[in-house]
Structure 1
Amino acid sequence: MSETEMKHRKFSSTSSNKSSEDEVELKREVGLIGGISLVVGTMIGSGIFLSPAGILAEAESVGASLCVWAGCGVLATLSAISYIELGLMITKSGGEYQYLRAAFGNLVGYLVVWTSVVVTKPSSFAIIAVGFAEYVTAPFYPGCTPPVTIQKCAAAFCILLITAINCFSVKLSNFVQIFFTAAKLAIIAAIIVGGFVMLGQGRTENFQNAFAGSASSFSAIAVAFYSGLWSYDGWNQLNFVTEEIENPARNFPLVIGIGIPLVTVLYILVNISYFTVMTTTEMLQSTAVAITFGDRVFGPASFLVPVAVACSTFGAANGSAFTAGRITYAAGRNGHMLEIFSFISVTCYTPSPALMFNSFIALIMIIPNTSTFSSLIDYFTFASWIFYGFTFLSVLVLRYRKPKWKRPYRVFLPIPAICFIASLYLIIAPILEDPALEYLYAAIFILAGLIFYFPFIYFKKVPSFMGSVTSFLQQTLEVVPPPALLDEDEEIEKSIEEMHSENKVHAF
């Protein structure tokens, strides 16, 4: 037995006398209502309060802007429908990571984890924190834009506070999520009611010649979709908890069929309310659209709008951090990230090392002055849709390569094909017409994973000092290794190993 293993065993002895009942095991406790709440609560975050101006700037008309919102909803729905077959066929939590491993092998699966842990999840956390900061600081600087330094400090405070909450207690994190989800639904209902009252009073100026001056550039439309799709991000969250869904063959399709169309309708109604109360110029100039709306409609009670929106963004950031911590934890447990990321706090029973790492990367992302909300959206969405596209393609690949795998739900194949084509458009169009550094950054981060994959994962050449580092961090953070993994589906694992063997000679 190695020295590192002995240290692990020694430090774990404090919990070795506990009964086996203390070991946490995934249980199917997410029912229909819980699944809908998960999807809707994750999708409705800061985007609907910040993205309208970004979409309008690219779409260049009210009608085109509303069409983009509707189109994003349709694409999110079709994308989630494509994921139903994968989720019910490969019944392991982990989303794209599991599906791309099954379809294309370990390398592609690793790149998904690498990108999620280093790029998309931390950038999502950072984006929402920046949105939280904009709404929290705006009331203190009426008539002008808050200083960038103040906004960044507020965003950093948001990240650190949420990380502390998630490290301290799972129950506390869940309570925060429920409380702030209620707040976001309340403000959305208030905006819709207020806007339609104004619409009933004849405020229809923005809807006359609504499509005049609409953008026709492929790049502009793709960038507009980027902002819209950020607001719909979360449509795939159910696939990350597949092992915990009650009666998945029934509830999986129902959650998707109810949850995402509901969010689409709410988003369109909120935007109609915005356009009823504000002119397009006012929307483009406003850094906090919902606050401007509240000042016009709610009068003395308008102070409640930034409070409610801040609650919404804070809750979304909490959910983002919670999910990111679990993905990082799973990657460490499967040997695709540092071992320490899979360790659990002996006092709080949370994956604190994984949560801390995600927080550290998110803090780095809000430091540069170039990290505006718009650029972060492009950065996040571009990287995400690369792997979404591969996942849509995996539906077709697995139908061909593994036709005998059990499929309780079979999606109409043109649906994932359409989603795959749409993902190609979203990836390629902006690069061809208007290249931006954000796309290069995302591509570099994805490919940079190969630097670590081949020596550390493929050839398993782990530096000897890592054992000491892991032991030091383990004792400093008071964390222990997780329970042993259960055997995964033999057929899927055999398929992955076969592909791994076939590609061994051509690894580079």
Structure 2
Amino acid sequence: MIVRPCSQAIVALTFSYYVIEPLFPDCEQPAIPVTLLAVIAILVLTFVNCKDVKWATRVQDIFTYAKVLALLLIIITGFVQLGKGNLEYLQNSFQDTEMDVTKVSLAFYSGLFAYNGWNYLNFVIEELKDPVKNLPKAIWISIIMVTIIYVFANVAYFSTVSPVEIKSGAAVAVMFSKRLYGILWWIMPIFVSLSTFGGVNGILFTSSRLFFVGGREGHMPQIMSYVSLNNYTPMPAVLFMGILSLFYLVSSDMYALINYVSFVNWLAIGLSVISLLYFRYARPNMKRPIKVNLIWPILYTIGSIFLVILPIYAKPVETGIGCLIIASGIPVYLIFVTWKKKPAALQRFFDKSTEILQKLLMVVPEEKKLS
């Protein structure tokens, strides 16, 4: 309820910044239009994901191609500039670097946010063909490809944009294109807008499946596990994900949002990996269709500790708010999961609410869809 919707809000804001950039080329984008455009993007994609799974996957395919094309254009142009001898900014790219370890940990938040898509694959494993074979392969291929492309893109930026400008600008690709593409500079904001639009769709598509399974397993209201009678999509889960994302748009400060979401994210994932280590020790003979060498979860746990402990010291207010938000999940867990013998009046209220939502959304339990 924190990591995925907040991530979607961040990517939607990035989409808005790039769409609006050509309209305000010489000044800062106004906050209200940026937020409204992000709202529209989330609402449109929520409708698409509610309507048809094929629509959602086609949107993802098309906009992923746009993302890769934009990055390849940046890389090729940047390396041409480097070949011409424009190495000044690259040589001084680490000038004024700060060695404060707490600031380094917060810098990792912004950097690792760009690579956070690797774990989204796990949420659509039910819709993956031969997941035991294809899930590890997809993760390895995507991480290697994204790492190479992103590193090369950042090297390309330094051929034209100074480190100071990169740190101060929200739309670095626009600065880059204005200096190299002349009157065609607007191509880059369009490409990046398309790619971030696809990013919003990808987060919505994968994360709604997380709520869907949560409803199925009894960790969230049962209505979350229902599917559309006409479209066979997990409509309640998609709507919940979309609506929840809108709440995070009350702030247009992407870096503050990244700090919020990253602290919660790395704490949750770190605890999950620690659980993996515990089960590998306590239940060594448990069936494990996908198994990795222990060195990887150990290294990951060490990295997670670094990314959780130090920011508490560096940003105590933001991480404290993150802890309070996590703690708010305790009453939800107690009410919906552990409390089995609810009062009859409360149970009737839950049942009536589910019935009303069923009729309003035209959704049914997934068993009825399969029958």
Query: What TM bracket, shorter-length normalisation?
Result: over 0.9
Q: CA deviation at 1:417?
A: 1.1
- Residue of 132, 138, 142 corresponding to 2:15: 132
Partner of 1:451: 331
Name stretches of at least 5 consecutive residues in structure 1 with no aligned partner. 1-117, 487-508
Partner of 1:13: none
Q: Is the 8 A contact 1:333 1:482 kept in 2?
A: no
Alignment of 1:57-72 (within 5 A): none
Q: CA deviation at 1:424?
A: 0.8
For 1:19-39, what per-residue CA distance to the aligned partner results, in whole angstroms no more than 9, with x for missing partners? xxxxxxxxxxxxxxxxxxxxx
- Residue of 192, 204, 207 corresponding to 2:75: 192
Q: For the structure 1 residues 335 and 432, does the alpha-carbon distance in structure 2 shift closer, same or farther, using more than 3 Å as the test?
A: same
* Aligned-residue identity in percent: 38
Partner of 2:45: 162
Q: Is the 8 A contact 2:35 2:249 kept in 1?
A: yes
Alignment of 1:16-31 (within 5 A): none
Q: For the structure 1 residues 245 and 287, does the alpha-carbon distance in structure 2 shift closer, same or farther, using more than 3 Å as the test?
A: closer
Alignment of 1:252-291 (within 5 A): 252-291=135-174
Alignment of 1:270-349 (within 5 A): 270-349=153-232
Partner of 1:395: 276
Question: What is the alpha-carbon distance in structure 2 between the residues aligned to residue 440 and residue 425 of structure 1?
Answer: 17
Alignment of 1:78-227 (within 5 A): 118-227=1-110
Q: For the structure 1 residues 136 and 265, does the alpha-carbon distance in structure 2 shift closer, same or farther, using more than 3 Å as the test?
A: same
Question: What is the alpha-carbon distance in structure 2 between the residues aligned to residue 171 and residue 433 of structure 1?
Answer: 44
Q: Secondary structure at the match of 2:232?
A: coil
For 1:155-210, what per-residue CA distance to the aligned partner results, in whole angstroms no more than 9, with x for missing partners? 11111111111111111111111110111111011000000000001100023254
Q: Match for 1:480: what amino acid?
A: V
Question: What is the alpha-carbon distance in structure 1 between the residues aligned to residue 131 and residue 224 of structure 2?
Answer: 29
For 1:374-424, what per-residue CA distance to the aligned partner results, in whole angstroms no more than 9, with x for missing partners? 011111111111121112212321111111123455433232112101101
- Residue of 341, 364, 368 corresponding to 1:480: 364
Name stretches of at least 5 consecutive residues in structure 2 with no aligned partner. none
Number of residue equivalences: 366
Question: Relative contact order: is structure 1 or structure 2 higher (C-alpha 8 Å, sep ≥ 6)?
Answer: 1
Partner of 2:253: 372
Find out whether 1:422 has 2:303 as its counterpart. Answer: yes
Question: What is the alpha-carbon distance in structure 1 between the residues aligned to residue 193 and residue 258 of structure 2?
Answer: 19
Question: What is the alpha-carbon distance in structure 2 between the residues aligned to residue 353 and residue 251 of structure 1?
Answer: 29
Q: CA deviation at 1:305?
A: 0.6
Partner of 1:77: none
Q: CA deviation at 1:362?
A: 0.9
Once structures 1 and 2 are overlaid, which stretch shifts more, 319-328 or 189-198?
A: 319-328
Q: CA deviation at 1:338?
A: 1.2
Q: CA deviation at 1:135?
A: 0.6
Q: Match for 1:482: what amino acid?
A: E
Q: CA deviation at 1:255?
A: 2.9
Q: Secondary structure at the match of 1:405?
A: coil
Superposed CA RMSD: 1.9
Q: CA deviation at 1:456?
A: 2.9
Q: Is the 8 A contact 1:145 1:287 kept in 2?
A: no
Question: What is the alpha-carbon distance in structure 1 between the residues aligned to residue 16 and residue 314 of structure 2?
Answer: 32
Return the TM-score normalized by structure 1.
0.69
Return the TM-score normalized by structure 2.
0.93
- Residue of 234, 242, 264 corresponding to 1:359: 242
